[in-house]
Structure 1
């Protein structure tokens, strides 16, 4: 299944594009996490087995924690990423693009029991294939989604300037054009940069180098710099 894009608009008028992760890449991340937990559990149980019945009891608690708590701890305190998701460049976020919090994480992980039926995530897989944003039941109920972590190469290419929001809301294509200009402006002659910047004087309220600095400030704000 092709990955889809969910576009949302923040109260500040900024359009965000969340690239939903499909079932295949999510399955790869799950297999990595499952393998890590299985290896860690086997090693620990081998050691605890030497303690007899007490060790077996402790081992059951460890297995419970590995299955139920691992996902919540990673998602809430590791920026929405388990080890598997980090390897596959995925992240769990709220449906509005904000970082996932404790309650939604707990809900989505508890509902793995339902998504796992009748075995090997049968219901979860079907739900991911049907839902337009590749969500399983746990994500739909919790109001979360798994998205691709996009590389922020553009952030490194845009010159530093104190971020400042545009004076008027910009459409998505206008935001993209502004960031593209900030990325590639240094490849243009200075006179050409100023010429293009002057065309946006209605937005910046400035001309020349002052207008260029204002455009860079807007681009840094759109990229989330602080």
Structure 2
């Protein structure tokens, strides 16, 4: 996506499995609330039944809409799985799209066990169920800027070649993720740039880390 300010955004659509897991968490939370509330109103007779029905409606129809609109597109289940509902253009979801996508669950559930929604999610290239298609929304992974390790603190190295800003950003991203990669994988990636590193193996990795340090403004 490209914003009106010219900033490119990459949205990673969530697949069927993480979405199902998030739904299961929300479902378990709602069942727990229903069970506790049911015990509390069991002795209230008809009033207790009425209150229980109101709670059922609120939990299964109002709950997802309120969380999606007021909690940055995240129900507790989605937050636990690092997911978020957004409009198809990447903007925060509003009341009407959220209401539409959740009302369409009555279609996605058919004929049983979310069968229609599952088939739609497997066919659609963005893993959208029918509710998302009608509401023009997406469920995406939340990219946590604090989830990546900072680039290792090594002396800066000058790049032997002029690089575009995008290429410099790719090298910095590699440096930030080195602690999440095995040494073998680090070297495998570094070996893809022999003209830039003028080396192979561990030496190539260190030179890329040094270049990243230079791009980040660190001293030689």
Query: What is the TM-score with the length of structure 2 in the denominator?
Result: 0.71
Q: Is residue 2:126 matched to residue 1:136?
A: no
Matched, 1:91 2:84: yes
Question: Root-mean-square deviation (CA), in Å?
Answer: 2.8
SS in 1 for 2:138: strand
The match for 2:11 is 18
Other-structure match for 2:167: 177
Match of 1:36 among 12, 29, 48: 29
Within 5 Å, give how 1:185-200 maps onto structure 2.
Answer: 188=210, 193=214
Q: Secondary structure at the match of 1:120?
A: coil
Cα distance, 1:120–1:179 mapped onto 2, change above 3 Å: same
Distance in 2 separating the partners of 1:10 and 1:35: 37
CA-CA distance at 1:157 after TM superposition: 4.4
Unaligned runs of 5+ in 1: 1-7, 159-172, 198-211, 213-226
Q: TM-score, normalised by structure 1?
A: 0.69
Cα shift readout 1:90-124 (whole Å, capped 9, x = no counterpart) = 00011011111111001101111000111111000
Deviations along 1:11-33, one digit per CA (max 9) or x if unpaired, are 22222111000001100000010
Distance 2:46 2:35 in 1: 16
Match of 2:67? 74
**For residues 144-177 of structure 1, what are the alpha-carbon distances to aligned partners after superposition, in whole Å with 9 as ceiling and x for unaligned?**
000011221388849xxxxxxxxxxxxxx96643
CA gap 1:122/1:174 in 2 versus in 1, 3 angstroms: farther
Aligned-partner SS, 1:134: coil
Q: Which runs of 5+ in 2 are unaligned?
A: 152-162, 177-208
Aligned partner of 1:27 in structure 2 is 20
Provide the secondary structure at the position in 2 that maps to 1:146: strand
| Residue in structure 2 matched with residue 165 of structure 1 by the alignment | none
Secondary structure at the aligned position of 2:78 is classed as: helix
Counterpart CA distance in 2 for 1:180 and 1:27 is 33
**How many residue pairs were aligned?**
175
Choose between structure 1 and 2: higher strand proportion.
Answer: 1
Per the alignment, residue 152 of structure 1 pairs with 145
Aligned partner of residue 74 in structure 2, secondary structure: coil
Q: Measure the CA separation in 1 of the matches of 2:56 and 2:147.
A: 42
